[in-house]
Every structure is written in structure tokens, then in C-alpha cells.
Structure 1
Amino acid sequence: MHVYAIHAGAGPAAIFARAAGLRNLDPVIAMTPITSLDLTGFTEREPGVWTDEAGLVLSVHFFPLIPDLPAPLHEPQRLGAGLTQLVAGAGGGLIEAVPGSVDGVPAVRQLVKMPLGSRPGQAFLGSWTVPRAGSSTVVKVQAAEGATTGMREAVIMAQVGPAEYFRPHPYADGQPGGLPYHVGDHEQWDPRFPDHPLTLVRAALHRITPTITFDDRFKALPPFGGPGTPQSLPHLPPPRRGWFRRRKDA
């Protein structure tokens, strides 16, 4: 599988940044409040960006502005609906948006698929967006299909049939546009397609998440209250490169 290099402000990366609530922001790569992250199997390519032999791209980002998520985390249906429309409007598809936590801090996990503009196939992007009142941290894993595309979808559709393959989107009425929602992206099929980029992205995000820890100053910030909510913005010292370090056992 080829590495799918995504650069801030261009193509699927910019779309994904908007879907993560990070519209019109330039990420400060590596200068994040992440203090620990298991990088086993990854090689650093530039500050805050790593790749592995399977073609995964792992990156970390800190955004020192109010997150642009469409709803607060405690309103998952409204949050999912807003993210679905945003991604669909850009031609992609939201596979899932699940509230959870990272190192005890409320967050939202997203899986997004986007068409590759330069050739047939799709890119798959998984992330945790960890919003606070006046900033957010994002951990992102991404990979793209190689020369062979659509095999997973074709095999699963042949097994379940077209009527059972395409489903109404769980966060929107019917199909909101963009790439269609279907059962072929469900996690239950991952063991059958261990080398598929969606399988790899999902597995890497599951593995990495428990190893992420944050600087206590970031964890102590007021929570994100949602769009249009007055945010209390206490002084936060500018991020330092020293905030990020490789796990000693990596």
C-alpha cells in the first residue's frame, strides 16, 4: 500500500479538519499537550507525523482556537448529524462519530472516508478530537486504497445482497449525499479483510488510544460547551515541543 500523504489545507486533509471541527486553522504539528503516545512500529517523517510499513500515516495536532464542532459532545445525535452533513457536502462519508474519552478527557472518535481525487479509490481517516473551551487536540490515523480498489465492498455486497448492503445513515435521514453509508464499512468485517486500509486505521486507533496521555494543564481547561456558547478562556501557556515525548517502551 502506498503512503497517502495529506497536507494541511489541501484536498481530503482540509475536509477532514473541518469535519473534526477545525475549520480554517493551521495545525501546530508536534507542539501539542500530548505527553505520551505509543509509537511502536512507526517511523517519524517530520515533526508530529509518522508512518508505518503498512502505509498508515499517524499525526498529532494542537489547535489554539475554539473548536468548530457542530454540537457539544453530550448531544451525540446532533453532533453526528452535523458532522455527517459536513463530510457529505465535501463528497465523503462519515462512517461513525462516537463520543468517548481520551485519558479521561471527553472527546469524539470519527471514521471518515473520502474519494481520492487523483485516482480511483478511497482514503480512510480515523481520529480523536479532544475539544476544550478554547482549544483542541487531534490524533489522526489515515490510509488509502492501493492499486486494487473496491474488493471489500464487492465481496460483502455479494454476500448480503444490495438490499441489505446499503442502509440509511444512522445520523441523518436516508442518504445525505457524498459517499453512501453501507454495511461494508462495519467493524464486523475487518477480520476478513485484515490488510484493508479501513481495517488498519480502525485497529491502529484502537491500539493507540489507551496509550495517549495529556499535560495536566490541558486536562484542567474548561470543557467545550458547543457552538454559540460563551467560552471561558483562561490563559494557557503556549505549547512547547517538550509537551510531546515518545513512550520509553516504544
Structure 2
Amino acid sequence: MPIAFETKGLQQFDHSRWGNPVTGDVVTLTYIDQAPDLPASLDDPETLRRQLTELQAEFGCLIEAHAITVDGQPALLRLEKFPLEGRQSGLGFTAGLVLPKATCSAILKIMCMETGRSGVREAAIVPRVGFQNMFPPHPYAPEIKGKLPYNAADDARWDPQFPDHPLTRARGWITYISRTARVDPRFAVLPPFTGPAVPAAPEVPAAAAQTVAIPTGAARAETTAIPTSPVHAETVRIRRG
């Protein structure tokens, strides 16, 4: 695998998954042998953050995203939340590193889930900031309203007061790993990712036309051009997580 990281305290399930037997957190390391689907270059953080916010809004909420370096390699650090399927309440939090290259990428992430009573962190923050300030506009895309709202309680400044919260665990683990992980030299020297590929505009051949006689009366005829090979232009949607 392209990334080596500290696994102390984790139980290895297979070659790419580990679990924390105490918290239930799950770590995965994935190598993807195709061009990254990031919507923008790491050199354009404003566009990247905005488009990631739009994409994640369909499933939950992007909490934060940062272009950083891991062992000298460009990387994206992202933190997200989403509702847990099959449960009436409770959230899951993922924190991950994406190391993109021109034709492949490596992704290391942790998933931490709420257990027991949910919403404890949020309820404790309300008296401190006021309910009217609990759901500010998203800093990366203020007009976006996603499946989950951007929440003042998700701010990192509250983490020390909630050391066992899944968001605190996810943020703390990925922050530590981003500083200590090592990248395989063979992966490090691969051509860099410079942004999503822009497809060339398709060539649309001119429609062939032929002239046919359309009688309009007994003594006269008019001609009309009728295309014999119509061409229908289509647009292809290019896709982020």
C-alpha cells in the first residue's frame, strides 16, 4: 500500500481494514488505480472546497477540507458527517486523507459513529453560542442547504471538552496520522494530479442534405432541403469524495 501509518491499538481485519476494539472506529486504506475524481486541483482550494460542499450536501455535510502535505506529498484532508442508515437518530463522522496522482490515488480514512444518546455535544453548545447561532451559513458555500446543516458544535474548539465524541476522535486521529504517515517512494514519484481532465469538444459533422422535389400543384414544384443524417449533440456530466 502507498501509505504506512501507526496502527497501535487497532485490530487488523484484512489487508486494508483495521478496527478499534474499544470505540468501534474503523480505518480503511484504499488504492484506486484510476484518475482521481476530485472536482478541482489542490492548488485551487476555494473551488475545491465549494464543489466538495455541493457534492457532500446530498449525503450529509462537509465539515472542513484542507490542502496539506503528507510526508512531503500534496494531499486533501477532509472531514464529513452523515446520518446513520437504519437508525432514527445518530451521526457518523469520517475523516480522511486523499493523496492524488495523475492516474491513481491513495485514500486513508477513519469512520467514527455515535453510540448511545446522540446530540449531547450539540445540546451542550446551544447555551454557549445561542440557538440563533447554531446553524450559520456554510463557510465554503453559504447558499448550500444539505441533508445535514453546518453546525457550530462541529467546530474544533469544542473538541477538548468532548474527548470521547466521534467527531473529536476522527479529527484527532487524522490530524496525528497526517503528521506521522509515510508515503512509499515509488508512489511519491508518480506524475502529480493537476486537476480533473477536461474532455475535448466533440467534432460534430455537418449534416448532409439533399434536395427533393415536393409538388405543390399540377404545373409547379418547389424544392426543400431535407437532412438525411441528423446529428444529435449530447453533453456528458463529469463528476469528488
TM-score by length of 1: 0.76
Structure 1 runs not aligned, ≥5 long: 1-31, 231-250
Of 65-74 and 162-171, more deviation after overlay is shown by: 162-171
Q: Which residue of 2 aligns with 1:216?
A: 185
CA offset at residue 208 of structure 1? 1.8
Find the aligned partners of 1:224 and 1:172 in 2 and give their Cα distance.
24
Partner of 1:66: 35
| Cα-Cα RMSD | 1.3
Query: 1:109 maps to what in 2?
Result: 77
User: 1:214-239 deviations in whole A, cap 9, x for unaligned?
Assistant: 12121111111111258xxxxxxxxx
1:124-177: per-residue Cα shift (whole Å, max 9, x none)? 000000100000001101110012100101110122112222111111023432
Whether 1:85 and 2:54 are equivalent positions in the alignment is yes
Report what 1:242 is aligned to: none
Gaps of at least 5 residues in structure 2 are 200-241
- Residue 66 of structure 1: how far off its partner (Å): 0.2
Contact 2:57–2:144 under 8 Å retained in 1: no
Match in the other structure for 1:56: 25
Match of 2:125 in 1: 156
Q: Distance in 1 between matches of 2:126 and 2:25?
A: 26
Aligned residues: 197
More off after superposition, 144-153 vs 39-48? 39-48
Match of 1:135 in 2: 104
Are the aligned partners of 1:84 and 1:176 in contact in 2 as well (CA < 8 Å)?
no
1:205 and 2:174 aligned: yes
Distance 2:191 2:109 in 1: 23
Q: Summarize deviations over 1:16-37 as a string: whole Å, max 9, x none.
A: xxxxxxxxxxxxxxxx222x31
Q: Which residue number corresponds to residue 43 of structure 1?
A: 11
**Which structure has the highest helix share of the two?**
1
Higher strand share: 2
- The alignment's TM-score, normalised by the length of structure 2, stands at 0.79
Question: Do structure 1's residue 125 and structure 2's residue 94 form an aligned pair?
Answer: yes
Matches within 5 A, 1:149-188: 149-188=118-157
* TM-aligned CA deviation for residue 206 of structure 1: 1.5
